[in-house]
Structure 1
């Protein structure tokens, strides 16, 4: 019989909630995300997706409940401690150093992953050794030909690809992607969708995504939130046909959190 509390689930939320004053932005949310799967959180504006995501990544501390990563309760840990345990978040707003080259951005991420603080007086040899791995990561995300370009000069889609490369530099077991296609034109959405599928090999991915076409293409399972609570969970065909989900999206409420 499968062990439902340990290795079968990379990430679990057990009744998590977040209260702001008298308002519950998220309440009694339960999630079980199987190892190696892609799981999406969706919902209309104000459903609590961002708050739930912030709780999972420990950007916010939960008011109630537990968050379990690889069988370990991480509810009381800081974001940096969670990252050391293999769960890393990629933010909606691209978190790259615009004035650095593409290669330098990935090298800095690798320095962080190897516990080497960025020092201007460090010997060149101490960081050049990371270039091989940095170039491998750039090749993985389709930026092999752009290593000398300034990050600021990249297209929006390529900036997101670079952000994914810097996230991969931390060698995460669990990646949480916040609106990975937000603000993209149609020409960038498909390459980024394919990239997410590619880097999901051997990893668990959780995404918050508004583009339901992307969700339908990528997701193994989907959790639908409404008013801070789980409305339903299922496959895309199950979710998209559910009358409660259709009503929630058609009804749309103001986005509070």
Structure 2
């Protein structure tokens, strides 16, 4: 039986590719209402693990539980309906629409109604108001009517978070939210994730240790498909095996 305060749990999660074990018997427990980061050097299995949790891949063996229910074989759409939402990659945002249109479309997904079929202008107006609120939450109010394609990289990532929030996730899954960003954008997106985490759970794959150290409640360090260490930043950064695993990478320094 799963623990009531664990929103997501895996048991013996394993994935093999042609005889190579990318994820090997992982027991992951994500506590409700926390920010949980999955980190590790390149090739550690972070992305494979994330793809298993978001149903992009099927495990070779092991089980996944969400909110006490087994979802190991559930379809991606079924878990999305239960409130597990993976942040859309930038490519999934419509580049030639405005941010407000992108968020409005995302708001309609849970309703299962296609954008062009809206007849009621009242409905369109209320959805637009909600979309503008969400854009305000992620600092994009001033860019609501600019073409998405013209936004900076950091602003596009913020829009991604807004479209994910539009689906009102219970568990929000973020895939390297600060990848490819300069310091200013990293700080902005870190603050944004911290802000939107109130009242929900966030699991993110991230490579930026400084960013993770500032907001993650729990950090799981993967190495060669297995859990190397787990705990808060103080525990994980003091672990000699973690220090060793990170030596020689861009994250060689675990300090702030």
TM-score (norm 2): 0.93
CA shift for structure 1 position 91: 4.5
Residue 133 of structure 2: aligned partner: 136
Residue 184 of structure 2: aligned partner: 187
CA shift for structure 1 position 92: 5.1
Instruction: Tell me if 1:215 matches 2:212.
Output: yes
Given that 1:86 and 1:171 are in contact with CA atoms closer than 8 Å, whether structure 2 keeps it comes out as: yes
Moved more, 110-119 or 63-72: 110-119
Gaps of 5+ in 1: 253-257
Distance 2:141 2:72 in 1: 38
Q: 1:223 to 1:92 in 2, by over 3 A?
A: farther
Residue 8 of structure 1: aligned partner: 5
How many residues are treated as equivalent by the alignment?
A: 248
CA shift for structure 1 position 188: 0.7
Runs of 4+ in 1 over 2 A off after TM superposition: 91-95, 121-124, 126-129
Moved more, 237-246 or 197-206: 237-246
Gaps of 5+ in 2: 250-256
Residue 159 of structure 1: aligned partner: 156
Distance 2:91 2:215 in 1: 21
| Superposed CA offset, 1:113-152 (max 9, x none) | 2221233x54262433311211111111111121111111
The alignment partner of 1:25 has SS state of strand
Distance 2:82 2:164 in 1: 14
Given that 1:41 and 1:207 are in contact with CA atoms closer than 8 Å, whether structure 2 keeps it comes out as: yes
The alignment partner of 1:105 has SS state of helix
Residue 100 of structure 2: aligned partner: 103
CA shift for structure 1 position 90: 1.2
The alignment partner of 1:188 has SS state of helix
Residue 241 of structure 1: aligned partner: 238
Distance 1:147 1:124 in 2: 22
Q: 1:123 aligns with which of 112, 119, 123?
A: 119
Given that 1:224 and 1:231 are in contact with CA atoms closer than 8 Å, whether structure 2 keeps it comes out as: yes
Distance 1:147 1:40 in 2: 30
Moved more, 88-97 or 131-140: 88-97
Residue 149 of structure 1: aligned partner: 146
Distance 2:219 2:238 in 1: 13
The alignment partner of 1:213 has SS state of helix
RMSD: 1.5
Distance 2:120 2:210 in 1: 45
Q: 1:80 aligns with which of 73, 77, 87?
A: 77
CA shift for structure 1 position 28: 0.3
